[in-house]
A and B are shown apart, each in its own frame.
Chain A
Amino acid sequence: MTSVAERAQEIVSNYKGKEGVLIHVLQDIQGEFGYLPEEAVRVVSEELGISLAEIYGVASFYSRFYFVPRGKTIVRVCRGTACHVRGSGRVLGKLEEGLGLKSGETSPDLKFTLETVNCVGCCALAPVVVVNEKPQTVLNPDKVVATLKRSGNGGQD
């Protein structure tokens, strides 16, 4: 068995016999691998006795499950109302331009993933960009791009 499958097996074993655990299992697997590898999902299907189609149905419904590997630095532009009103559309445009990625894309070298999020709850500081779970106010999108590119290790100097 490969290491992915083994690790997936370990994760599933924590949840076996409990009710309504599929989402938890998938979240843990994603926490481990950064996305949902096919091999791991097959293990989940076998161990929990849920068909692959059903798992795909659940996982594809949610916006926070991914089927492809994602970048090391995940940049999420908040597109909540407050951020929208204060110009997050422009911020997104600048980041797309600066990183050379469209929203939802990952750079081929797996360094960056750019995506949007519907609100992170710090509306008072809009417009907000979340770099690896750390929200920050954007005053100058060009600067964010520059910092990201310079550090390449999470965008935090």
Chain B
Amino acid sequence: MVARISSRMMLEVLYKDLAARRAGAGCVVKVCMGNGCLAAGAEDVFHAFSLEVDRQGVEAKVIPTGCQGYCQGAPIVTIEPRSLFLNKVMAFDVAKVVDIVVKRGGELIQHFYRNPDTGTICRCAGEMPFFQHQVKIALRNLGQINPMDIEDYISIGGYLALSRALTEMTPEEVIAEVKKSGLRGRGGAGFPTGVKWESARRVKGDRKFVICNGDEGDPGAFMDASLMEGDPHAVIEGMIICAYAVGDCREGYIYVREEYPLAVKRLGIALEQAREYGFLGRNILGTGFDFDIQLKKGAGAFVCGESTTLMISIEGKRPSPRVTPPRSVEQGLWGLPTCLNNVETFANIPAIVLNGGEWYAQYGTETSKGTKAFCITGKVKNTGLIEVPMGMTLRRVVYDVGGGILEDGKFKAVQTGGPSGGCIPETHVETPVDFESLTRLGSMMGSGGMVVVDEKNCMVEFARFFLSFTQQESCGKCPPCRIGTYEMLQILDRIVAGQGQEGDIERLEELGRMIKKTSLCGLGQSAPNPVLSTICYFRAEYEAHIRNRGCPARACTTLGAYVIGPDCILCGLCRHSCPYGAVIERRDGFFIENALCKRCGTCLVVCPTGCIRVEPELQEEAVNT
């Protein structure tokens, strides 16, 4: 048990002590325990390292860290002090790694990343092209520290920003610094954070709240999860600074999505430690400032990521959005002034306070300052968690950082902003990634999911996927969203099933525009984006589904004609399994009789070689039947 840190002096002494200890720590094995690596078995790897280090009698410290970013190589292990970056270290590799790398100071080439273009081996993370183009501010500590150890966080300068804000700066100065940085809300809408804080400060009230929105519901995005799991103290520190700047604020909430049990656990530990060390609670750092944070767990509703809904959910009521204004900074949680920001926004704050707003503003574009974390996933070679300066072009993000398309496929589009965003086609790949440019293309920044799709993905089906998501998650309060998304989904279902009609595209466009204009909250206002943007850029695909009853990407299996390709091995499984007897055996092989085929997809599933293809319906076929 450590004594509460009751002054800035005490914190600085502790920091110097811990930093010195960190510098002389010798060998440290950092096992990535991000969500991705855990799924690949990092927990076993961690235990194996702890055991093996003892067994072989090596002087080394084994610590878990947050997401190290390169999820493609999971499980990842970094070995200090040489900063060797090892990919795909499984539990059975550990004995060898400890023996050769830790004990004898050697290297294991098979675990290093090899640059596929040049063939060079990258020993450290810094040598990999994946990391070379990144600038890490919000994610600065991920992979560097043990998220469950507050001393590790203090040893790299944690809570120094807080002590500086509390002792050297007035709340107005903190706000001025945040305004100077140009930081905009990282939840997606991009509202300037400093302006929000200032208006929250200006509102009169003796009880205000700070809320951290960790309800990252966007499928395909996990930045906030990684931050809460990998650097919870940075988020907490950002919130305390915010509470100080807003004034009259003694209570804060972190609302975490239920699907992130690990984030809940690690935030819980971090909050406990922060209280123990005196960064939360009464009289923080002896300045007379009181603040504490409660953790709230969601229960699986996407709409709770919308700020007014989130507050109603915290109140324990059936959540649905309300009309704004009044804005949350005036009437938020329990009708009291509330300042709500995203996880990533808060994680940026300590760095801004410590290094100054100008330092942060050097990155990015004129209107979108700083850096943004993205999750680059889908059909790219290097999937993972990245942070790049705003204004980097999509091409550079996909090719330089993402390493290009998987299996050297053809890049088709990138989907940003989750179900609220849109698809940006290859023709716009030179677009800089910033708030305005993405909105102009009918997409949005969103919280930062970036899903790359290649030519094998059907854009109609993709749009249908997103819409079915938003339709399911619509809270049902306002009719445009409740009924409109349902109607749109019906049309899309029809098109994907090969029953599209002339005029469907126009109906979708009209409905989409209407829903955007008349919905109550952000969910409805942005729900048609995936459909509208795919119609805008991939209209031909919609037309092919409707007119030719075919899917150009050959992804929709409920329309078109099933054809057995030349790589058939004559196993006969398709004939055996076809419930309609549509697979017919001929002397030279198998053949699918399209008049009998109901396109159920059974043969596609059973075929061991994947030689059955779905072709757009042939012209002569129409004549025959």
A interface, CB within 8 angstroms of B: 19-24, 26-27, 54, 57-58, 61-65, 79-86, 90, 93-94, 97, 117-126, 128, 133-137
- A27 and B259 contacting across the interface, CB-CB below 8 Å: no
- B219 and A124 contacting across the interface, CB-CB below 8 Å: no
Asked if B182 CB lies within 8 Å of chain A CBs, one says: no
Residues of chain B with a CB closer than 8 A to A20's CB: 314-316
Residues of chain B with a CB closer than 8 A to A62's CB: 298-301
The answer, among B219, B258, B375, for a CB contact under 8 Å with A64, is: B258
Asked if B220 CB lies within 8 Å of chain A CBs, one says: yes
B293 vs chain A, min Cβ distance (A): 15
A20 vs chain B, min Cβ distance (A): 4
Give bound CA distance, A58 to B220, whole Å. 27
Q: Which of B72, B216, B219 has the most CB of A within 10 A?
A: B219
Residues of chain A with a CB closer than 8 A to B221's CB: 119, 123
Give bound CA distance, A97 to B600, whole Å. 14
- A125 and B300 contacting across the interface, CB-CB below 8 Å: no
- B451 and A81 contacting across the interface, CB-CB below 8 Å: yes
- A117 and B378 contacting across the interface, CB-CB below 8 Å: no
Residues of chain B with a CB closer than 8 A to A122's CB: 35-36, 38-39, 71, 222
Asked if B384 CB lies within 8 Å of chain A CBs, one says: yes
- B39 and A135 contacting across the interface, CB-CB below 8 Å: yes
A57 vs chain B, min Cβ distance (A): 4
Give bound CA distance, A94 to B379, whole Å. 22
Q: Given A27-B299, A81-B449, check contact A119 B220 (CB 8 Å).
A: yes
Chain B: number of interface residues, binned into ranges: 35 or more
- A85 and B35 contacting across the interface, CB-CB below 8 Å: no
A32 vs chain B, min Cβ distance (A): 15
Give bound CA distance, A56 to B226, whole Å. 33
Q: Which of A20, A61, A122 has the most CB of B within 10 A?
A: A122
Give 27 pairs: A residue, B residue, CB < 8 Å, sorted on A: A19-B316, A22-B317, A23-B316, A27-B297, A64-B300, A81-B377, A81-B418, A81-B419, A81-B466, A83-B219, A86-B378, A93-B601, A94-B605, A118-B219, A119-B217, A119-B220, A119-B259, A120-B259, A120-B260, A121-B225, A121-B226, A123-B375, A124-B71, A125-B383, A126-B383, A135-B39, A137-B39
Give bound CA distance, A120 to B218, whole Å. 10
The answer, among B298, B302, B316, B384, for a CB contact under 8 Å with A124, is: B384
Residues of chain B with a CB closer than 8 A to A81's CB: 219-220, 377-378, 415, 418-419, 449, 451, 465-466
- Considering only residues 274-301 of chain B, those with a C-beta below 8 Å from chain A are 296-301
B contact face: mostly helix, strand, loop, or mixed: mixed
Residues of chain B with a CB closer than 8 A to A94's CB: 605
Give bound CA distance, A63 to B40, whole Å. 27
Give bound CA distance, A69 to B384, whole Å. 37
Asked if B564 CB lies within 8 Å of chain A CBs, one says: no
Residues of chain B with a CB closer than 8 A to A134's CB: 39
- B35 and A58 contacting across the interface, CB-CB below 8 Å: no
- A118 and B315 contacting across the interface, CB-CB below 8 Å: no
Give bound CA distance, A63 to B316, whole Å. 15
Residues of chain A with a CB closer than 8 A to B462's CB: 84-85
Give bound CA distance, A134 to B457, whole Å. 28
Residues of chain A with a CB closer than 8 A to B375's CB: 123-124
Residues of chain A with a CB closer than 8 A to B72's CB: 124
Chain B 209-252: CB-based contact to A (< 8 A → 1; otherwise 0):
00000001111111001100000000000000000000000000
Give bound CA distance, A57 to B418, whole Å. 28
Q: Which of A22, A94, A120, A128 has the most CB of B within 10 A?
A: A120
Give bound CA distance, A123 to B35, whole Å. 9
Asked if B129 CB lies within 8 Å of chain A CBs, one says: no
- B377 and A124 contacting across the interface, CB-CB below 8 Å: yes
Residues of chain B with a CB closer than 8 A to A135's CB: 35, 38-39
Q: Given A20-B314, A117-B259, A123-B220, check contact A82 B451 (CB 8 Å).
A: yes
B175 vs chain A, min Cβ distance (A): 29
A43 vs chain B, min Cβ distance (A): 17
- B334 and A119 contacting across the interface, CB-CB below 8 Å: no
Give bound CA distance, A83 to B378, whole Å. 8
- A57 and B377 contacting across the interface, CB-CB below 8 Å: no
Q: A19-B315, A58-B317, A63-B301 are in contact. List 11 more A-B contacts (CB 8 A).
A: A19-B316, A24-B297, A81-B451, A81-B465, A82-B378, A85-B453, A85-B457, A118-B302, A119-B218, A124-B383, A135-B39
Residues of chain A with a CB closer than 8 A to B225's CB: 121
Residues of chain A with a CB closer than 8 A to B318's CB: 54, 57-58, 61
Q: Which chain B residue shows the least CB distance to A135?
A: B39
Asked if B126 CB lies within 8 Å of chain A CBs, one says: no
Residues of chain B with a CB closer than 8 A to A86's CB: 378-379
Give bound CA distance, A136 to B465, whole Å. 23
Give bound CA distance, A139 to B258, whole Å. 26
Q: Which of A24, A80, A82, A94 has the most CB of B within 10 A?
A: A82
